[in-house]
Amino acid sequence: MIKKVEHIGVAVESIEKAIHVFRDLLGIPLEKMCELDAIKTKIAFFPVDGCTIELIEPMNPSSPAAKFIQKRGEGIHHICLGVENIEAALRHYESQGIELLNKTPIRTEDGRIIAFLNPKSTHGVLIELEEICIVHPA
């Protein structure tokens, strides 16, 4: 069912300070930055060999990232796993006893199709599923 680790989300208080570490000190190129109004966050994308590190800065104290930082401090917020058919994956995981935060997939502002699994069912790890397109050889 899982095809790849799509990205790792890291909650940070200051995206500019974190960019300095990831780009300037670790040498990972910054691909792009954007603001997602729906979840009140600013995100910086750092691609690394087929996976991406996403730095997530809250733009509002009521955003999920702000609440995470208030409760746990900066650090890994979620792991996103790529699946070919997100609806089938959600049905499968729910049938296996995993509680879903999203019973139906969500289309993000940037066009991705995602859903989250409840960390209470995954040993404290917030797992995001993202539908990805896999090109199959002819």
pLDDT of 42 reads 96
Q: Rounded to an integer, what distance in angstroms lies between the CA atom of residue 82 and that of residue 134?
A: 10
pTM for the full predicted model = 0.91
pLDDT of 136 reads 58
Q: Rounded to an integer, what distance in angstroms lies between the CA atom of residue 130 and that of residue 55?
A: 17
- Going along the chain from its start, the domains and CATH numbers come out as 1-82 (3.10.180.10), 85-115 (no CATH)
* Alpha-carbon distances of 15 from 18, 20, 56, 96, 104, rounded to whole Å: 5, 9, 7, 37, 30
pLDDT of 135 reads 64
Which among 66, 70, 100 is positioned nearest to 86, based on CA atoms?
100
pLDDT of 138 reads 64
Q: Give the residue carrying structure tokens 């917020």.
A: 77
pLDDT of 137 reads 63
Q: Rounded to an integer, what distance in angstroms lies between the CA atom of residue 97 and that of residue 61?
A: 32
- At 16, give phi and psi (nearest 5°): -65, -45
pLDDT tens for the chain, 138 residues: list them. 899 999 999 999 999 999 999 999 999 999 999 998 888 999 999 999 999 999 999 999 999 999 999 999 999 999 999 999 999 999 999 999 999 999 999 998 888 999 999 999 999 999 999 999 866 566
How far apart, in Å, do the first and last CA atoms of the chain sit? 21
Do residues 8 and 80 lie in contact, with contact meaning Cβ atoms separated by under 8 Å?
Answer: yes
